[in-house]
């Protein structure tokens, strides 16, 4: 099996000096990214090409100017890494896998800095970043794989003010699970988060709904504050962010538990290729769909299946799984969302809407799997296009 790299994320509590240094680094990373993006955009308008090496040369020149001399005060490693991230963003744009890169905002963009091996020291379980005298006070909630050393360290701060460090390491303990002959079809929903072809239904915890009153109160309080950079508005904004963080953490924990269980118990998992981006345009269901996090659920299933030697099959989103009788194959007419059970006019079988859909999803996935292909092309792999539709990239700036 190919060696797998895995990120281990921990919370840490910086000293005042460390927090100041990291905040300064975040600002410099954002500044360099925006300068490089502006330079590449202006060069492209003139018909010129600016590569990563050219932006690296520009960074050296910027550091020598009086206006940008402050860039010398932080480690150069995160600054070089942000230029690499910009290069990746342009590669994805010209490969038609993402939109044109956008400038980073001081208030809205993610505050993070990435350090490669030359920018940190990791010894005896203590991590020290460049330009810092003391190691970070990390809460080691779980051990790193024995005998491994981080290859990349990413430090970040979320909107709620919490500090995190993510260590990218080899994961030699990740091995394929023993093969089984079990397969399961999965139908996602709102009343129940998942309905399996076995008949089991997994409840939808609706984390956002449980905290909706607290969130609305905090948001009203924030709306009353005068706009600007005042301390009171910053405190109110952080209260809102903490509630959002609580919702996201609980949702992510639940999804991890559900997906890990499905991958461990089944060799093959069949799901539908839902267009969640289009579905959230329905103003009546957008909040509930976003809270269910179907896209994140699928992403977790896919990478965990890769880790443990399982298979995820994605079937056509236009498969009429709810209206197709899983017993005789008859297709029913239109079926509004409020119809949860229906009786087949062909064989007289009474179906639970979601359970019937899960059975049809499983049948479609297994039928196509036997033929050696999926119903529709899978998601484009990270950093690449779909294997069924590859185009030569255009010239990039």
Please tell me whether residues 20 and 152 are part of one structural domain: yes
Take residue 66 and report the two structure tokens written for it: 């009086």
Confidence of residue 330 (pLDDT cuts 50, 70, 90): confident
Q: pLDDT at residue 375 above 70?
A: no
> Is position 311 within any domain?
yes
Average pLDDT over residues 349-368: 88
> Taking all residues of the chain, what is their mean pLDDT, rounded to a whole number?
89
> Is position 233 within any domain?
no
Average pLDDT over residues 6-12: 95
Please tell me whether residues 190 and 149 are part of one structural domain: no
> Is position 228 within any domain?
no
> Is position 176 within any domain?
no
Please tell me whether residues 22 and 159 are part of one structural domain: yes
Please tell me whether residues 193 and 312 are part of one structural domain: yes
For residue 62, what are the domain limits? 5-170
Please tell me whether residues 152 and 56 are part of one structural domain: yes
Please tell me whether residues 187 and 100 are part of one structural domain: no
Average pLDDT over residues 292-303: 94
Would you please indicate which residues are annotated as catalytic (active-site) residues? Answer: 187, 272, 354
Query: Is 71 in contact with 79 (CB distance < 8 Å)?
Result: yes
Q: How many CA atoms lie within 13 A of 168 on its CB side?
A: 13
Q: Of 97, 101, 83, which Cα lies nearest the Cα of 394?
A: 97
Please tell me whether residues 122 and 65 are part of one structural domain: yes
What whole-number distance in Å separates Cα of residue 394 and Cα of residue 165? 36
79 or 316: which leads in pLDDT: 79
Q: Is the dihedral of CA 333, 339, 340, 341 positive or negative?
A: negative
Please tell me whether residues 141 and 259 are part of one structural domain: no
Average pLDDT over residues 83-105: 94
> Is position 226 within any domain?
no
Q: pLDDT at residue 389 above 50?
A: no
CA–CA distances in Å: residue 272 to residues 78, 193, 269, 294, 378: 39, 14, 10, 10, 11
> Is position 72 within any domain?
yes
When divided into structural domains, the chain yields a total of 2
Q: pLDDT at residue 183 above 70?
A: yes
Q: pLDDT at residue 280 above 60?
A: yes
What whole-number distance in Å separates Cα of residue 322 and Cα of residue 196? 13
Continuous segment of H or E residues that includes residue 82 = helix 76-94
Instruction: Tell me which residue has tokens 């080899």.
Output: 170
SS3 content of the chain, % helix, strand, coil (to 5): 40, 20, 40
Average pLDDT over residues 278-301: 93
């Amino acid at each position: 099996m190919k060696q797998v790299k895995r990120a281990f994320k921990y919370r840490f509590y910086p000293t005042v000096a460390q927090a100041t240094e990291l905040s300064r680094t975040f600002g410099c990373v954002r500044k360099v990214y925006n300068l490089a993006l502006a330079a590449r955009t202006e060069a492209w308008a003139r018909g010129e090409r600016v590569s990563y090496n050219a932006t690296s040369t520009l960074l050296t020149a910027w550091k020598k100017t009086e206006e940008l001399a402050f860039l010398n005060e932080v480690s150069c490693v995160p600054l070089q890494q942000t230029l690499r991230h910009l290069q990746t963003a342009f590669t994805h744009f010209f490969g038609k896998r993402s939109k044109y890169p956008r400038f980073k905002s001081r208030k809205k963009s993610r505050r993070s800095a990435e350090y490669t091996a030359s920018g940190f020291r990791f010894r005896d379980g203590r991590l020290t970043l460049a330009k810092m005298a003391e190691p970070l006070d990390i809460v080691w909630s779980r051990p790193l794989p024995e005998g491994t050393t981080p290859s990349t360290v990413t430090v970040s701060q979320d909107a709620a003010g919490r500090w995190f460090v993510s260590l990218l390491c080899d994961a030699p303990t990740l091995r394929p699970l023993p093969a089984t002959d079990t397969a399961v079809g999965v139908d996602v929903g709102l009343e129940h988060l998942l309905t399996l072809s076995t008949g089991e239904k997994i409840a939808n915890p609706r984390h956002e709904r449980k905290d909706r009153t607290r969130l609305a109160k905090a948001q009203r309080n924030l709306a009353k504050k005068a706009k600007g950079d005042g301390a009171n508005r910053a405190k109110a904004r952080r209260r809102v962010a903490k509630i959002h963080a609580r919702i996201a953490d609980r949702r992510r924990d639940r999804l991890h538990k559900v997906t890990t269980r499905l991958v461990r118990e089944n060799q093959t998992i069949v799901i539908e290729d839902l267009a969640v981006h289009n579905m959230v345009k329905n103003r009546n269901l957008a909040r509930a769909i976003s809270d269910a996090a179907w896209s994140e659920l699928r992403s977790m299933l896919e990478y965990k299946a890769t880790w443990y030697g399982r298979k995820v099959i994605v079937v056509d989103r236009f498969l009429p799984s709810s209206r197709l009788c899983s017993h005789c194959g008859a297709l029913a007419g239109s079926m509004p969302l409020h119809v949860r059970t229906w009786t087949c006019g062909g064989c007289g079988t009474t179906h639970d809407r979601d359970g019937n859909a899960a059975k049809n999803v499983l049948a479609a996935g297994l039928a196509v799997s036997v033929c050696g292909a999926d119903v529709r092309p899978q998601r484009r792999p990270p950093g690449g296009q779909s294997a069924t539709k590859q185009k030569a990239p255009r010239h990039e700036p």
